[in-house]
Structure 1
Amino acid sequence: MPTPPSPPRILLAAAALMMAGALPATAQPSGGAAEPTTTAQAPAAPQPPAVVDPAAGLFANFLAGRVALTLGDTSQAADFLTTALRGDPDNLELLNRAFMAALLDGRPEALRIARRIPENGVALLVLMGSEAVAGRWDRAEIRVRALPRGGLTQALAPLLQAWTLAGRNQTDAALALLRPVIEHGRFRSLAALHGALIADLANRNREAERLLRISLSDQTEPTLRLAMLAAAILSRSGKPGEATRILDQVAANGDEISLAAAEPARRAILGQRGVASAVEGIAEAYVAMAGALRGQAADDQAMAMARLALRLRPNFAPAILLLSDILTDSDQNARALELLGGIRPEDALAPVALLRRAGLLDKLDRPAEAEALLREQAAALPTRPQSLVRLGDMFRRRSRFAEAAAAYDEAMARVPNPREQEWPLFYARGISRERSGNWPGAEADFLRALELSPEQPYVLNYLGYSWADQGINLDRALPMLRRAVELRPQDGNIADSLGWVLFRLGDKDGAIEWLERAVELEPRNGTINYHLGDAYWVAGRRSEAEFQWSRALTMELETGEEPAIRERLSGGLPERAWPAGLRP
């Protein structure tokens, strides 16, 4: 069943304001889920209040800003907290919170506030970046040396200090500083990569290649960003064939990220410098740290690192993509979409950004615009299936199954020799064909998906359940569904499928056992409750059957199930619905 909608963010912020309004005017900040039913429409988003009396409005703005920041709404957090700061400009708590909100929202005033809290580690990074952009590398290094030497900066500080030396054209000193980390440190691969970038910037191609190989040796499979930087360095080192092979390895994955390593995007990589300046190198370090933090679900810190990168490289595609993903995860789809517009069309990551934009347009209920983008990319990349797969996925989510199947047909025409990793495409088209009334085509797709990857529980389940529901191939469906249950023992839908095929085979006890298990796992699934009612009726447990059928009517059902249940409640299980061999 669909998850109930969460409380609108603005209502929570308003609740904080209401709580604040009940407090005495002299109060100061300390150091330290259903849609509304009382109004016809949700209130408009709050604007930062004009604080006429700072003592009266300070705490209200402070609380509202904290709530907004907790919810990931950096725009409102920055509005409220900077307004509160105007009411008490020397409050250290407010300075730190307003700074972080301004930084996370990408506002220029983060630098102004950072100058007032130089003991804040992140503020030091903002100040260091400002010095670097101005070419004041001595002062930038002083800022780096002032960073705390624990936690996040343990990995970051050596990279930043090396780049401040590179900014002064002191390449030997920069590489010497990184050498202990490369030889013995925990962050050897990262330090070696940045050493390679520093050497490449100084046109020391042989040394850049040597350091790059150290970084690559510590990776079982290079990330997209490492592959892009490696290809750039190798092509400049006179190894274009090896550079191409690295990109081919990424492009062969077939996912959306692979578009950045395929033609024509790779033209923006080969022959170019990994980074064009020491400032860009610092931004690269921030993005590497942001990616690591994102992988540890530390999204606030990841956002801060990405924003620091964008202060130095405003159109830096890796930082923009990371930030947009975080915003999307917090349901700020419009802001994520706007952010993606900052990636230049000629950037290697532009095709990836286009797919993300299309997905966001779909979430914003603008499917026509999403479709136009995807078809534009499909025409521009005539050998790549990704945009057509994404189009099919969009149609399928919107129950436009015939159109989805047609989009998947077009995508498959671009995959002449499917590999194991292409099984989801056959599965998705199979669902679309089945839902649009083409069962023979759907069955063929599910069987092909299982040929490519036999142990996919959802394919086993969909095909096995479809056979059971039609009363065909039951002996083939049973072992498939038993295997699916082994692979996904906590999935109520798969348990239901196993119970349903046992019911069709006339195994009353086995059917009831698994259907009861399915109801335990998915108690609000109408179809599962309906199936259990049928099994109870055949077992002679008539009152329990009627209870399950009545219960199912209070839940979401598939098309055609409601009239079938009402027929059962008025006259019992019809003879045609009994399992073969058990009909009365």
Structure 2
Amino acid sequence: MAGAPRAQMEADARFAEGVLYETQGDIPRAVAAFRSALEAAPGDEELAREVARRFLRYQQPGAALAILQPFSTNSTHYELPLLQAEGHLLQNRPTEALTALREAHKRGAPLAALVPLLLPVLQRPDALPAEARPLAFVRELLDAPHADAESLLVLADAYARLTTLDPAERSQSAEVLARTARRVESLNPATPEQQFGLAELHLRSGAVEQAIRWYEQARAAVPEASPLRRLVLARLADLYLQTGRAEPAREVLEDLSKADPMNVQVHFVLANLALEAGRPAEAVDAYRRALTLNPKLEAAYYNLAQALLALQQPQQALATMESARTNIGRTFLVEYLSGLAASQMRDYATARKHFLAAEVLASTSETNRLNAALYFQLGVTAERTGDIPAAVRAFEQCLKLDPKFHPAQNYLGYMWAERGENLDRAHQLIEQAVQADPHNSAYLDSMAWVLFQLGRPAEALPWMEQALATMDEPDPTMYDHYGDILAALGRTNEARQAWQRALELDPNNETIRRKLQPDPSAAGSAHPAP
């Protein structure tokens, strides 16, 4: 037996020699020394594994597998099939690698050792035969005892991807993922990467609130400079937006804009949130940042124009639409919003041109844009520029498209009432508008005026009083109407007080001034459209 210790000493000496050559970068001599070590102790499995591990590192998988082969039958250590799996992977033999990994699992290999070798196999499920059933193996590993959080998260991600290829498994995948998520939670994942992975796992299983909770934990833990931070914030913002929580979404997006200031979409969404929340000035700044980064972002031009209109800045809105024409071309919305801006400036002739151009564009490319809102604006601008027949046609088309469009009901009804035309139809339209919005002071005024024009001032008076009681700001036309109605009822002194108030609000109105002469005779004369 004295030969055995000498052989082992020889093997150890040759192995140490190989390690020395390896550290010197002399791989050929290291390989020769390691082979000599194996020849000295051919039955030493631990030595064989150490040498095979080095041959795999040298990209010599065939040699490594040959070294391990004699021990395959009798070995009980999980490291041997793990090394065999690595060798098969280097030879692009995923089926053999998967078989070796199954054997390693049977021998008690920890998930942390199995998973890195299993992932390359799972990334090419099409290269495996049907009988290999990698999905079943992954499920088995998900239930393995003594699992670590990182391995479970990696396996759950692989499982989720594999179930997309297996309709039979898809129906139960949510429960498998939820069960795995609960297990990972019990392991108290401490790193932001693991917390993010757990949030992703909850999201895949449909547990949105739990996902948000773990994304928030990852957000608190991840360093400011980490690329992961941007992904965490993006996920959180998306979930808050999906669940209708605008304020948390805004706060997360503000953080994301600092972490990723060149992200156009972040600025655009922040602008949309501000606009929807009634903060147009904030929206304007964010839309402008988005457009600075991407001058071709079409929707940002339109939304920016709307924000500027909300701020009563029509000239800037028009300038924005001019920039849009330059950068994205002439579109329906460019013309339509230009029309709204010109209307806000009371330049109704220019506004009408834009609305007519929008109609032409819509009729050739976007017929769904030929809607009630467009024809209402065409009607308003036609009336304001004195083209009454065109105004009537536009309002009638508006109501044909949307019979309940009450702004058009009121406008057309009042326009006819003011001109003393179609008074019965005017009364009917205004009545419908009032029913739709019974506290609208302009509609109440229109009802009073059409009744007055129908020769029913006593019925008109309570409507006029309601209009005055509900108006947001003092309106000279309403006080003028009030005076006319009172005068028709013989209440001259009260009528003069109403006209006096109208003149105070509109000092340059000569029609009202004439009514205040000693013997007014102009009651019921024309008034501007609402």
The bucket for the TM-score relative to the shorter chain is 0.5 to 0.7
Which runs of structure 2 are paired with 1:294-313 in the superposition (5 Å)?
298=247, 301-313=248-260
Which of 218, 226, 232 lines up with 1:282 in the alignment? 232
Cα distance change, pair 368–484 in 1 and its aligned pair in 2 (3 A): closer
Asked if structure 2 preserves the Cα contact closer than 8 Å seen for 1:420 and 1:453, the reply is no
Which of 427, 434, 437 lines up with 1:478 in the alignment? 427
How many residue pairs get matched?
Answer: 328
Cα distance change, pair 296–387 in 1 and its aligned pair in 2 (3 A): same
What's 2:410 paired with?
461
How big is the shift at 1:490? 0.5
Cα distance change, pair 378–409 in 1 and its aligned pair in 2 (3 A): farther
How big is the shift at 1:315? 2.9
What's 1:487 paired with?
436
Asked if structure 1 preserves the Cα contact closer than 8 Å seen for 2:265 and 2:290, the reply is no
What's 1:422 paired with?
371
Q: How many angstroms apart in 2 are the aligned matches of 1:525 and 1:166?
A: 65
Asked if structure 2 preserves the Cα contact closer than 8 Å seen for 1:427 and 1:446, the reply is yes
Q: How many angstroms apart in 1 are the aligned matches of 2:190 and 2:372?
A: 50
Cα distance change, pair 447–486 in 1 and its aligned pair in 2 (3 A): same
The aligned amino acid for 1:178 is: L
The aligned amino acid for 1:462 is: Y
Cα distance change, pair 296–490 in 1 and its aligned pair in 2 (3 A): farther
The aligned amino acid for 2:341 is: M
What's 1:351 paired with?
298
How big is the shift at 1:165? 11
Which of 465, 470, 492 lines up with 1:542 in the alignment? 492
Q: How many angstroms apart in 2 are the aligned matches of 1:537 and 1:554?
A: 19
What's 1:178 paired with?
203
The aligned amino acid for 1:507 is: R
How big is the shift at 1:283? 3.1
Which of 393, 397, 400 lines up with 2:344 in the alignment? 397
Cα distance change, pair 332–415 in 1 and its aligned pair in 2 (3 A): closer
Q: Deviations over 1:196-245 (max 9, x none)?
A: xxxxxxxxxxxxxxxxxxxxxxxxxxxxxxxxxxxxxxxxxxxxxxxxxx
Asked if structure 2 preserves the Cα contact closer than 8 Å seen for 1:495 and 1:515, the reply is yes
How big is the shift at 1:383? 7.1
The aligned amino acid for 2:340 is: D
Q: How many angstroms apart in 2 are the aligned matches of 1:341 and 1:308?
A: 18
Cα distance change, pair 434–172 in 1 and its aligned pair in 2 (3 A): same
How big is the shift at 1:311? 2.8
Q: Deviations over 1:366-392 (max 9, x none)?
A: 766643441343465557301111111
State whether structure 2 residue 472 is matched by structure 1 residue 447.
Answer: no
Which of 432, 436, 442 lines up with 2:381 in the alignment? 432
Asked if structure 2 preserves the Cα contact closer than 8 Å seen for 1:423 and 1:449, the reply is yes
What's 2:468 paired with?
519
Which of 564, 567, 572 lines up with 2:511 in the alignment? 564
Asked if structure 2 preserves the Cα contact closer than 8 Å seen for 1:426 and 1:449, the reply is yes
How big is the shift at 1:331? 6.5
How big is the shift at 1:435? 1.3
Q: How many angstroms apart in 2 are the aligned matches of 1:363 and 1:460?
A: 24
How big is the shift at 1:503? 0.3
Which of 481, 488, 494 lines up with 1:531 in the alignment? 481
Which of 496, 502, 525 lines up with 1:552 in the alignment? 502
How big is the shift at 1:525? 1.8
The aligned amino acid for 1:371 is: L
How big is the shift at 1:291? 3.7
Cα distance change, pair 520–318 in 1 and its aligned pair in 2 (3 A): same
Q: How many angstroms apart in 1 are the aligned matches of 2:337 and 2:264?
A: 21
Q: Deviations over 1:517-575 (max 9, x none)?
A: 11111172221111011011111111111111112222258xx7x21111111144426
The aligned amino acid for 1:532 is: Y
SS at match of 1:570: coil
How big is the shift at 1:170? 11
Bigger mean CA deviation after superposition, 539-548 or 349-358: 349-358
Q: Deviations over 1:389-422 (max 9, x none)?
A: 1111110000111000001111111111744872
Cα distance change, pair 540–366 in 1 and its aligned pair in 2 (3 A): closer
Gaps of 5+ in 1: 1-137, 142-156, 195-276, 580-584
Q: How many angstroms apart in 1 are the aligned matches of 2:445 and 2:497?
A: 18
How big is the shift at 1:510? 1.2
How big is the shift at 1:321? 2.7
- Identity fraction in percent: 23
Q: How many angstroms apart in 2 are the aligned matches of 1:518 and 1:356?
A: 34
Give the structure-2-normalised TM-score. Answer: 0.53
Q: How many angstroms apart in 1 are the aligned matches of 2:368 and 2:300?
A: 26
Asked if structure 1 preserves the Cα contact closer than 8 Å seen for 2:515 and 2:523, the reply is no
Which runs of structure 2 are paired with 1:81-96 in the superposition (5 Å)?
none
State whether structure 2 residue 267 is matched by structure 1 residue 320.
Answer: yes
Cα distance change, pair 402–169 in 1 and its aligned pair in 2 (3 A): same
The aligned amino acid for 2:399 is: L
Asked if structure 2 preserves the Cα contact closer than 8 Å seen for 1:537 and 1:573, the reply is no
SS at match of 1:506: coil
Cα distance change, pair 509–455 in 1 and its aligned pair in 2 (3 A): same
How big is the shift at 1:310? 1.4
Cα distance change, pair 345–351 in 1 and its aligned pair in 2 (3 A): farther
Cα distance change, pair 555–429 in 1 and its aligned pair in 2 (3 A): same
Pick 1 or 2: higher relative contact order, CA cutoff 8 A, min separation 6.
Answer: 1
Cα distance change, pair 471–312 in 1 and its aligned pair in 2 (3 A): same
How big is the shift at 1:493? 0.5
How big is the shift at 1:341? 3.7
Which of 335, 339, 343 lines up with 1:388 in the alignment? 335
SS at match of 2:346: coil
Give me the CA root mean square deviation: 4.2
Gaps of 5+ in 2: 1-149, 154-180, 216-226
Asked if structure 1 preserves the Cα contact closer than 8 Å seen for 2:262 and 2:293, the reply is no
